[in-house]
C-alpha cells in the first residue's frame, strides 16, 4: 500500500502549510475569538499546546493510506516516466484504458490531448510525452491535495469538537481553580478526558460554596502559602506571645490503665466484691476499704489545654523557597458528614487551586475503614477530583492507619519535601506509640511538617499534640452563626 507521506515526497507536496492554514482558520472562528478575549490565560496555554497538535496532525496524515485507485494511477505514471518515446506511444492506449477504468479526473484531459495531437498523422517526438506527463503530474498533485483537504477536514471536525469540550471545561473551572498563567496551563493539560457538563459542575458548585466561606478560604491560603526559608538575622530578639498545648494533671477518666489500690467502690475488681459476700471476710473488706487498699481498675486520660507563653523571637529576612507537594488526608467518618463534609471538600479544592498556581502536586487520601487515593494534579486530575467530590462521608475513623500511610508516602522518592494536612474532627481513639514515633521520625529526619485542620471544638488535644501546626475551623452551629455575624 502507498502511504500519503510517500506520495507527498514523490510529488514534492508540503503539508505543513496546509496544516498551518487549517489551525489558523479554526482558531479564528468567531465563537473562539470571543472566548479567548474573556479568558486570555487559557489562550496562552493553548498557544503553548499548538506545536504538539500540529505534530500530531502531521503524523496522522503521514500514516494515512492513499486510496487504491489513486495509488494504481500513480504507479502507472511512474512507469510512463521510465519508458522511452516508442514504448510510451506503444502503451498509450493501455494507459488511457486504465485511466478510464480508474475513473481518473485526468482521463478526459488525456483523451483531448491525444485527439489534439493527431498522432497518426504526425511524427512521434518527445514533446508530446513531456506535455502529457506534465499535465498528468498536475492532476495527481491536485488529487493528492484534495486528499489532504479531506483528511484535514475530518481532523478539523474532531479537533474542533475536542477543543470546544476542553474550552468549556477550562472556562467553567478557571474562576474556581486558576489564578495565574501557571494554573491556567496546568488546568488546560488536565482538561483532557471525556467529561460531561454534569460531571465537572460539582467542582463549580463547591467553588461557589467556598466563596460563601471566606474564613475557610483564608485558612487554606495561610496554610498553603507557607515557605521554607534561608533566614538571616535582621534585628535583636524581642519577646512575643505563643499559644502552646501543655499537659495538666490527669483528672479525667478515659480508659483502663492498669490496677491499683484505692477506695473506689464503683471500680472494684470482681475478686474484691466476692469477699464482701463472705461473713468471715466482711470486716476485713471494710478494714481495707478504710485503708484505701482495695484492688480497683485505674482509669486515666490525657488532658491538654492551651497556654500562652512568651518566647524571645529574632525577626529574620526570609529568602523564600517554594514548598513541596500537599498530601491531604480527609476524615470520612460519619461524624464528618453534612456541613463538615462540604467544608472539607471545599478546603481541598482551595488547596488544589494553590497547588496549581505554585506548580505543586496535590495528593488526597480518604481514610475511614479503608484508604482511598486521588492525585488531583495528575493528567486525569479533573476526573479524579470529580470522583473525590462524589464520595460520601459515612464510615469509621482510622486515624492511625491514615497517619501511618501518610508517613510512608512522605518517605518515598519525590515526596521528601511534602506537607501533610489532616482534615478531621479528631474525635477518635488514642494513637498507638509506633504511629507517633513514625510521624516524629519524619518531622525530625526530613524536616517535614504535619498540619491539623480541626473542624470541631471537641477534638482530643492528646491526639493533636503531635502536629506542627493546628488550624481551627469550628463547624458548630454557634461558630457558624458568629462567623456570619462578623461578616
How confident is the model at residue 160, as a pLDDT? 77
Task: Identify the band that residue 2 occupies on the pLDDT scale cut at 50, 70 and 90.
Answer: low
- Which position has the higher pLDDT, 183 or 474? 474
For 451, list phi and psi in degrees, rounded to 5. -105, 140
Report d(CA 295, CA 202) in Å as an integer: 59
Q: In the numeric block, which cell numbers belong to residue 230?
A: 534561608
- Which domains can be identified in the chain, with CATH numbers? 1-192 (no CATH), 238-309 (no CATH), 322-486 (3.40.50.410)
Predicted confidence (pLDDT) at residue 264 exceeds the cutoff of 70: yes
What does the pLDDT read at residue 194?
61
Residue 13 sits at the vertex; the CA angle it makes with 7 and 17, to the nearest 5 degrees, is: 135
Q: What is residue 468's predicted lDDT score, i.e. its pLDDT? A: 85
More reliable by pLDDT, 52 or 315? 52
Check residue 304 and give its pLDDT. Answer: 63
**Crossing angle between the packed helical segments 40-63 and 126-177, to the nearest 10 degrees:** 140
pLDDT for the residue numbered 6: 63
Owner of C-alpha cell 460563601? 212
The confidence band for 318, taking pLDDT boundaries of 50, 70 and 90, is very low
Between CA 196 and CA 237 the distance in angstroms is 58
Residue of 135, 65, 69 whose CA lies nearest to 104: 69
What does the mean pLDDT of the chain come to?
78
Q: Which residue has the higher pLDDT, 379 or 125?
A: 379
User: Poorest-confidence range of 29-43, 242-256, 330-344?
Assistant: 242-256
- What pLDDT score was predicted for residue 13? 54
Q: What percent of the chain has pLDDT over 70?
A: 82
pLDDT digits (tens, 9 = 90+) for 200-254: 788 888 888 888 888 888 888 888 765 443 333 445 566 767 666 666 655 555 5
Please give the residue that has the higher pLDDT: either 64 or 374: 374
Stronger pLDDT, 420 or 275, i.e. the higher one? 420
pLDDT category of residue 302 using cuts at 50, 70 and 90: low
Nearest to 319 by CA among 225, 417, 232: 232
Amino acid at each position: 500500500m502507498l502511504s500519503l507521506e510517500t506520495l507527498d515526497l514523490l510529488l514534492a507536496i508540503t503539508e505543513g502549510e496546509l496544516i498551518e492554514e487549517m489551525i489558523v482558520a479554526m482558531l479564528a472562528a468567531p465563537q473562539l475569538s470571543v472566548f479567548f478575549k474573556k479568558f486570555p490565560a487559557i489562550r496562552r496555554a493553548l498557544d503553548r499546546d499548538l506545536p504538539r497538535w500540529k505534530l500530531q496532525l502531521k503524523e496522522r496524515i503521514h500514516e494515512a493510506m492513499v486510496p487504491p485507485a489513486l495509488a494504481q494511477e500513480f504507479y502507472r505514471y511512474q512507469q510512463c516516466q521510465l519508458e522511452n518515446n516508442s514504448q510510451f506511444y506503444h502503451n498509450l492506449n493501455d494507459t488511457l484504458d486504465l485511466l478510464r477504468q480508474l475513473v481518473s479526473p485526468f482521463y478526459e484531459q488525456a483523451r483531448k490531448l491525444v485527439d489534439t495531437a493527431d498522432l497518426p498523422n504526425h511524427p512521434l517526438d518527445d514533446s508530446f510525452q513531456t506535455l502529457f506527463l506534465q499535465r498528468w503530474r498536475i492532476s495527481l498533485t491536485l488529487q493528492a491535495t484534495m486528499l489532504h483537504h479531506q483528511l484535514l477536514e475530518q481532523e478539523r471536525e474532531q479537533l474542533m469538537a475536542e477543543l470546544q469540550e476542553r474550552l468549556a471545561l477550562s472556562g467553567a473551572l478557571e474562576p474556581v481553580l486558576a489564578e495565574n498563567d501557571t494554573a491556567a496551563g496546568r488546568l488546560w493539560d488536565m482538561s483532557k478526558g471525556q467529561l460531561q457538563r454534569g460531571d465537572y459542575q460539582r467542582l463549580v458548585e463547591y467553588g461557589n460554596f467556598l466563596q460563601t466561606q471566606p474564613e475557610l478560604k483564608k485558612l487554606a491560603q495561610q496554610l498553603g502559602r507557607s515557605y521554607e526559608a534561608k533566614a538571616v538575622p535582621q534585628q535583636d530578639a524581642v519577646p512575643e506571645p505563643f499559644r502552646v498545648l501543655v499537659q495538666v494533671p490527669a483528672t479525667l477518666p478515659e480508659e483502663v490503665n492498669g490496677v491499683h489500690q484505692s477506695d473506689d467502690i464503683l471500680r472494684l475488681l470482681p475478686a474484691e466484691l466476692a469477699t464482701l459476700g463472705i461473713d468471715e471476710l466482711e470486716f476485713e473488706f471494710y478494714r481495707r476499704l478504710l485503708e484505701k487498699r482495695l484492688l480497683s481498675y485505674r482509669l486515666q486520660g490525657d488532658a491538654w489545654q492551651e497556654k500562652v507563653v512568651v518566647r524571645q523571637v529574632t525577626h529574620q529576612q526570609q529568602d523564600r523557597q517554594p514548598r513541596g507537594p500537599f498530601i491531604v488526608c480527609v476524615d470520612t467518618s460519619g461524624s464528618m458528614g453534612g456541613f463538615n463534609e462540604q467544608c472539607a471538600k471545599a478546603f481541598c479544592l482551595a488547596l488544589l487551586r494553590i497547588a496549581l498556581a505554585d506548580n505543586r502536586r496535590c495528593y488526597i487520601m480518604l481514610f475511614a475503614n479503608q484508604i482511598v487515593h486521588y492525585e488531583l494534579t495528575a493528567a486525569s486530575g479533573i476526573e479524579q477530583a470529580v470522583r473525590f467530590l462524589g464520595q460520601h462521608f459515612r464510615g469509621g475513623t482510622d486515624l492511625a492507619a491514615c497517619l501511618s500511610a501518610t508517613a510512608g508516602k512522605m518517605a518515598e522518592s519525590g515526596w521528601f519535601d511534602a506537607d501533610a494536612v489532616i482534615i478531621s474532627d479528631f474525635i477518635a481513639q488514642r494513637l498507638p506509640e509506633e504511629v507517633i514515633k513514625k510521624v516524629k521520625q519524619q518531622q525530625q529526619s526530613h524536616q517535614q511538617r504535619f498540619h491539623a485542620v480541626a473542624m470541631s471544638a471537641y477534638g482530643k488535644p492528646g491526639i493533636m499534640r503531635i502536629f506542627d501546626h493546628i488550624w481551627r475551623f469550628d463547624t458548630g452551629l454557634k461558630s457558624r452563626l458568629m462567623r456570619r455575624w462578623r461578616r
